[in-house]
Amino acid sequence: MISRQRHTSLKDLAEELGVSIATVSRALRNSNEVSLETRERVSKLAKAKNYRPNPFAQSLRKDAPRIIGVVVPNLVTHYYSSVLDGIEDFASKAGYSVISANSHENHFDEERHIDNLLSMHVEGIIACLAQDTTDYSHFKELAQLEIPLVFFARTCLPELFSSVTANGDAAAKKAVQHLIDTGSKRIAFVGGPNHLDMVKRRKHGYIEALHENRIQIDRSHVECHKIDFDTAYESMLRLLSLPVPPDAVLAFNDIISFAVMEAIKSRGLRIPQDVALIGFTDEKHAEFVTPKLSAIMDQAHETGVRVCQLLLNNINGDKTIHKEIVPMILKIRESSSKISKY
């Protein structure tokens, strides 16, 4: 069995020397911004640890010197692949190559990929937070390094970085209003982790719609946990077991939407007659379930185009922090109306 030794990273050198990644990076480039003494310390440790830039990165740099990196939580889902399509379409027209990485919704994988992209000397990075990321130090390091970074969908550090998000609050409010207008009275929200800004926005819209319709907020009807099929399935079973269960659900994303749908069916209940459902998901998935799912849809490709445009503008000298919003689209199908509005 071949033993594989872990590659020494910029972060490893920085931690051992007690300096920032930015300092190590500048020292290795022999920058005058770093003292001669520090440059010598960094150089000595780099040689001792056999530090070297990723050879794949070096070959990329020779053949295609203009590279950006993208880190997303899940490359398999249609949403993230569509965003990536938009990024690649815009980047290729501007002469850039794209390296994408999958954090698998894991903070440590996210941090590792950021470090790898730095080793590859990308000109900038596009990122969407992993659901368990609550420590943003690896992104703060990018600001210190003055490496362009733009977030989309799930964001953080708004004072440091531009972002492209959707109007999830307004979309959620519109969806809940539709549920109320078509006969639902006890509407639940099944979301992801509460610390995610995307969850906060969608939950805010849900609560605002209930307030405006003078419907009391029942906190037992709000389930916000890990973004995971089994977790969402169990959350929905808990809701259905309440003494007064909900008669409608707004679901945070596609994974949660289909888990909620499965849980409702497992209890022998009908959608929408017993429990109406609207989910944040995409058109392709929503069309191929029974009943067809009423859905709030992202303009994923457009999001990718916009976020890439912001990043390339940043690379080319635009230091303004931009906040762009791509409107979501509510598509009513079969899963949400208990009664006709007409």
For the chain, the structural domain boundaries read 9-52, 53-165+301-326, 168-297
The superfamily CATH assigns to domain 168-297 is: Response regulator (3.40.50.2300)
Thinking of the domain 53-165+301-326, which architecture would CATH place it in?
3-Layer(aba) Sandwich (3.40)
Give the SS3 label for residue 109: helix
CA 24 to chain centre: 29
Q: What is the pLDDT of residue 12?
A: 84
Q: Which of 89-98, 318-327, 331-340 has the lowest mean pLDDT?
A: 331-340
What pLDDT sits at residue 22? Answer: 76
Per-residue model confidence (pLDDT) at position 5: 44
Say yes or no to pLDDT of 4 above 60.
no
Q: How far apart are CA 300 and CA 131, in angstroms?
A: 19
| 1.10.1760.20, 3.30.70.20, 1.10.260.40, 3.40.50.10130: CATH of 9-52 | 1.10.260.40
Looking at 62-76, 94-108, 270-284, which range is the least confident one?
A: 62-76
What H or E segment, with its residue span, contains residue 211?
A: helix 197-212
pTM: 0.79
- Fold identical between 53-165+301-326 and 168-297? yes
Per-position DSSP letters for 48-78, written without gaps between them: HTT----HHHHHHHHH---EEEEEES-TTSH
Average of pLDDT values for 270-281? 96
